[in-house]
Chains A and B, each alone.
Chain A
Amino acid sequence: MKKLWEGAQLAGSKRKLIDENGIRLDGRKWNELRPIKLQVGVMKNADGSAYIEWGKNKIMAAVYGPKEVHPKHQVLPDRALLRCRYHMAPFSVDERKNPAPSRREIEISKVIREALVPAVVVEDYPRTAIEVWVEVLQSDGGSRVAGITAASLALADAGINMRDLVVGCSCGLIGEQVVSDLDDTEDKEGNGDMPVAIMPNLGQVGLLQVDGVYTRENFQKAFELAIEKGKEIYLMQREALTRRFFGGEAQTTEVEEGAE
């Protein structure tokens, strides 16, 4: 019984999220990421899919389409309709989550869509729908950015024209300290959370949400850190895609014209 209560606290009392040496609860330094594992092409039934493990997050992303739009009145005559659904499985959190879409999930679906559209060449698929499903199997903070990261890989896997991959990373505040990649506890007990999604080659930002109170310097620092960390994760995305399609690192070769 004793073990079960270890680390438990009374409501209202705050544990220290970061110690004197600058080490966080899970042993990371302020600017470190949780371990990330990416896999592309994990589902046969979807046109494209990807799976991500990011810390304790486990998220599946699937893409269907382009396909006919139903209901018909939603058809866009000049481009594709990109639909996104972010959903958390009832078993993804400690206490059963009602499977019906919550206010929060509807919002996250919206921001994921808005982070992905600028990268997708929607004009190439007029009058069609492209559906993106992000299913959180286990949740641990930062699941929207993890979902975006996986969803853009699933889109690339589905062979939908994209100008760039989209990669997300969150940063935040613990006290007055800027930290990267908040986990669930830090998100809930910390002082601020800032998820950011970028298109690294285009140099554009597709998502920026902020909560908490930041000084001007801290805002700048957190934003820049999120971009820097996002670029690190982009390299993992590249690796996952090339592993799937080229069985290793992408290569450049020179051959004579006319030779096979």
Chain B
Amino acid sequence: MPMIQRRQVIPGDVVAKGNYRFGSYIERHGDEYVALRVGIAEILRDEIKLSPLTGPYLPRTDDEVIGKVVDVNGFGWVVDINSCFDGFLPASFVFGRDFSPATHDLSSKFKVGDIIGTRIESFERSRDPQLSIRGQGYGKIESGEIVKISPTKVPRIIGRRGAMINLINERTGCDIKVGQNGVVVVDGSPEGIVKAVKAIRLVEEETRAPDLISKVEEALGGSAVGGI
């Protein structure tokens, strides 16, 4: 098995020298690769990656996000997706190609204040991100408790192949939806929600803990499936 080097870096640190492929949060200066964020850099054989430990949510195509409708106009909905850019969900993506503002009532589908699960259809630097609800599992979220976490901690909440989220779901009976933008919706019994939110907060605070999942397991207690 090839070895990976993991380095804790801060902005300005040279992650590696030489020739690598590199992702976001890294800039190339000559033959040096400079970290742009506080985070953990992984140096593989021919590639370097950086996972930041802090930062705002920036939209990326195909991200699944949870947002709040903040405005409805003749052509679609403006959605707050917990980012510096507002998302736009065009009405034609919802009603189909034969959409016309005269025949369709946009407010009948989503109203201002509704929470919706969407996917980022496209995002370029020059325009606000476009959203879509095509596909399974997208659309209005009717009930639940909204919890906002740091977007950099989303992978932790989900865990390895969904281990963490499955654990919380099993122990509290709550349905948990996680948006890549750091918005989490927890739905279930009132007692279950309280426990699940506590667990999520624990994951957020203890991101660095080596054996996070057993810590969460302990905090949730050995209670039966279905909550309480």
Residues of A participating in the B interface, judged by any CB pair closer than 8 Å = 47-48, 65-68, 77-78, 119, 121, 124-128, 156-165, 199-202, 238, 241-242, 245-247, 250-258, 260
A-B pairs, top 10 by smallest CB distance, nearest first, are A159-B55, A164-B12, A159-B54, A162-B11, A161-B36, A250-B8, A201-B12, A66-B84, A256-B1, A252-B7
Q: Are A163's CB and B36's CB within 8 A?
A: yes
B5 touches A254 (CB 8 A): yes
Task: Tell me the count of chain B residues lying within 8 A, CB to CB, of chain A.
Answer: 35
Main secondary structure of the interface of B (DSSP, over half): loop
Contact between chains at B5 and A161 (CB < 8 Å) = no
Contact with A along B9-43 (1 / 0, CB 8 A): 11111100000000001010100001011100000
Cβ B10 vs Cβ A238 within 8 A:
yes
Inter-chain contacts of B38 with A (CB < 8 A): 156-157, 159, 241, 245
Given known A126-B126, A241-B38, A245-B38, contact A257–B44 (CB-CB < 8 A): yes
B12–A162 CB distance below 8 A: yes
Name the residue on A nearest B125 (C-beta).
A126
Which B residues touch A159, using CB under 8 A?
Answer: 37-38, 52-56, 152
**Cβ 8 A contact of A246, one of B1, B8, B25, B160:** B8
A80 to B34, CA, bound (A): 21
Q: A66-B56, A254-B3 are in contact. List 15 more A-B contacts (CB 8 A).
A: A48-B54, A65-B84, A119-B11, A125-B84, A156-B38, A159-B55, A159-B56, A160-B56, A161-B37, A162-B11, A163-B12, A165-B10, A201-B12, A246-B208, A255-B6
B96 touches A (CB below 8 Å) = no
A251 to B40, CA, bound (A): 10
- Provide 9 A-B residue pairs closer than 8 Å at the C-beta atoms, listed in order of the A residue: A66-B84, A68-B84, A121-B36, A127-B85, A156-B37, A159-B52, A162-B37, A163-B34, A256-B3
Question: B2 at interface (Cβ–Cβ under 8 A)?
Answer: yes
The complex places the Cα of A241 from the Cα of B8 at a distance, in Å, of 11
Q: In the assembled complex, which residues on chain B have CB atoms less than 8 Å from the CB atom of A158?
A: 54-56
- Please indicate the chain A residues that have their CB under 8 angstroms from the CB of B126 in the complex: 77, 126
A245-B55 Cα distance, complex, nearest whole Å = 12
Chain A residue contacts of B29, Cβ below 8 A: 163, 202
Q: Are A157 and B54 interface neighbours, CB within 8 A?
A: yes
Whether, in the assembled complex, B147 has its beta carbon less than 8 Å from a beta carbon of chain A, the answer is no
Q: Which residues of B contact A119 (CB under 8 A)?
A: 11-12
